[in-house]
Structure 1
Amino acid sequence: MEKLKFTFQIKPAVDGKSNYIAITSIATQDDKVFLMPEEYQTVSLHKHIQTSKTFVTVKNTLKKRYQTRSVWIKTTEDILQTYVDEDGNMIFRDQFLEETTQEQLAFANKKCSEDSIMKVLEKIIESQQNKENQSIKKLAERFVIEKFDGKNSSAYQWMEVFEKECARFDIVKEEQKIEIFRLFLEKSCTDWYSSMMMKLTLHSEWSEWKSDFLQTYANKGWATSKYALSFKYQAGSLLEYAVKKERLLLEVRKTMDEGTLIDIIAAGLPDFITDRINKEEIVHTKNLFNELGRLEHLVAKKKFIKKKEDTKMTREKCSICEKLKKGVRYHSEDSCWFKEKINTEKDKKQIKLINNSELECELQCEDQKN
């Protein structure tokens, strides 16, 4: 064999970013073609080919991924020993190479190029999907809605707000709605979502998800309504109470008119606050909020007076300090520094009294003897 035809191709590396030159097949002068095993295709394993002048030209020619060149290379003794055995069989590293035809090789190359195109398309689709997912997450960050945890007052009102937000950001595809829906669920609701995903999958109708959600989390009792109506001001900010009360009432019934809202909010306020508000001037809830903001100082003042009275109640004169003429001091007798001293004096007086009584008994006994 005076020469052999080597087919070179630029292939992507495992990381998908870098490339390498591969020897995919070797052909003889009588048109026999032998395939190089995948694990031995990298040109770095073919040292005698790398040192040839032809390879330098091939290296300069191949510049794009999947480009191929089939070139004849004059066989040297080293090349023959590397690729041909004593019996004329094509080998490489003690392995016989698989023989094929030019037609089969052309078909294999075509299939390989098609596979590579499919891989490229798959990567493009995957990157587009990632971009869509990222854009959905960015949109979700702009949604003006709190997360649903199963304890929200009204599942119907929450769902209504969610669908309005989807419409505001032109999210009309059912798959996108179902996907973004997950981002606004938390706690036990995430388990419900996982179960629904197993039952319906992502490629189902949004109406099915919505119906199941409302049937699961719709509030069927009176507890929420009773709590909203009975909620009263206890302490803290008047404005904070009023805002929270309004939210609770609207969660129970969104269609409640402002006049009813104002009356129910005012009913939970202390009398000394409502007595200072002119009902005829309160037309909107914002008017009531403004008045409550103006009257916040009354709550703070009452709190301060109460604290001052409590402080006076706890201050007591210490009788021990008074007896010892240490001045008027306010603290409990148990914590008095002079408590031990006065107790010692009491003990001494008691001992003195006992001794005097014993002496009196002895004298009376002596008088009786005489």
Structure 2
Amino acid sequence: MKLQFTFKVVVSPKDEKTNVLAITSIMTEDGKKYVLPEDAMYASAHKELQKVTKMKASLKRRHDKISAWFILTDDLEETYIDGAGNLEFEDRILQEMDNEKNDGIENPSLARILNPSLARILEKLVEASQKKEGKNLKYIADKLIVEKFNSKTSNAHQWIN
């Protein structure tokens, strides 16, 4: 059996200046995605996966993201699959991600906290405010640019005023 783990470099919960590796989702071979609880998403809690150093080498900067398939060894299977075949971690069954609701939402913890439609509206609002800031800067820059000196004003002092 194989599982696909999605790793992402995120802000450390202990220190805002530190980056840590987090597992944002686990996908089964049949395409079902599961999310880990907030306290169990950091890679430091996943002792069996820490043995794989390829992920740390592949992800360098904050918000970098990579997905990788892992063939389950006996230790991994014991950690992530219960006796009935359910995905679990630390004796807690993982919640299946509703792909339709979370489509287009980049931040999975935001999708968990907010109603998905509200999260989309919030993301659009942020994008719109960033576009407005760009327009304001253009307007200010246009006002600060001095026109070329031409023959309409024969005196340079008048032109500067």
* Superposition TM-score tier, normalisation by shorter sequence: 0.5 to 0.7
Please, which runs of 5 or more residues in structure 1 have no aligned partner? Answer: 122-370
Compute the TM-score of the two structures, normalised by the length of structure 2: 0.62
Counterpart amino acid of residue 18 in structure 2: S
Is 1:99 aligned to 2:114, yes or no?
no
**Which structure 1 residue ranges, 4+ long, deviate > 6 Å from structure 2?**
none
* Cα distance change of structure 1 residues 60 and 84 upon mapping to structure 2, 3 Å threshold: same
Query: Structure 1 CA distance, aligned partners of 2:74 and 2:101?
Result: 30
- What's the counterpart of residue 21 of structure 2? 21
Counterpart amino acid of residue 47 in structure 2: K
Q: What are the equivalent positions in structure 2 for 1:33-182 lying under 5 Å apart?
A: 33-52=33-52, 56-109=53-106
Q: Please report how far the alpha carbon of residue 60 of structure 1 lies from its aligned counterpart in structure 2 after TM superposition.
A: 1.2
More strand by share: 2
Q: Please report how far the alpha carbon of residue 106 of structure 1 lies from its aligned counterpart in structure 2 after TM superposition.
A: 3.9
Deviations 1:149-193 (A, max 9, x none): xxxxxxxxxxxxxxxxxxxxxxxxxxxxxxxxxxxxxxxxxxxxx
Query: Structure 1 CA distance, aligned partners of 2:100 and 2:8?
Result: 18
Deviations 1:204-253 (A, max 9, x none): xxxxxxxxxxxxxxxxxxxxxxxxxxxxxxxxxxxxxxxxxxxxxxxxxx
- Identity of aligned pairs, percent? 36
Q: CA RMSD in A?
A: 2.4
Q: Please report how far the alpha carbon of residue 57 of structure 1 lies from its aligned counterpart in structure 2 after TM superposition.
A: 1.9
Q: Please report how far the alpha carbon of residue 101 of structure 1 lies from its aligned counterpart in structure 2 after TM superposition.
A: 3.6
Compute the TM-score of the two structures, normalised by the length of structure 1: 0.28
Deviations 1:296-353 (A, max 9, x none): xxxxxxxxxxxxxxxxxxxxxxxxxxxxxxxxxxxxxxxxxxxxxxxxxxxxxxxxxx
* DSSP-derived class of the 2:48 partner: helix
Deviations 1:42-91 (A, max 9, x none): 11111111113xxx222111111111111101100111111110111111
- What's the counterpart of residue 135 of structure 2? none
* DSSP-derived class of the 1:47 partner: coil
Counterpart amino acid of residue 51 in structure 1: K
Counterpart amino acid of residue 65 in structure 2: T
- What's the counterpart of residue 148 of structure 2? none
- What's the counterpart of residue 30 of structure 1? 30
Q: How many residue pairs are counted as aligned between the two chains?
A: 113
Query: Structure 2 CA distance, aligned partners of 1:13 and 1:30?
Result: 32
* Cα distance change of structure 1 residues 45 and 28 upon mapping to structure 2, 3 Å threshold: same
Deviations 1:273-315 (A, max 9, x none): xxxxxxxxxxxxxxxxxxxxxxxxxxxxxxxxxxxxxxxxxxx
Counterpart amino acid of residue 79 in structure 1: L
Q: What are the equivalent positions in structure 2 for 1:1-370 lying under 5 Å apart?
A: 2-14=1-13, 15-52=15-52, 56-109=53-106
Query: Structure 2 CA distance, aligned partners of 1:34 and 1:90?
Result: 8
More helix by share: 1
* DSSP-derived class of the 1:24 partner: strand
Counterpart amino acid of residue 89 in structure 1: N
Counterpart amino acid of residue 46 in structure 1: H
Q: Which has the larger radius of gyration?
A: 1
- What's the counterpart of residue 310 of structure 1? none
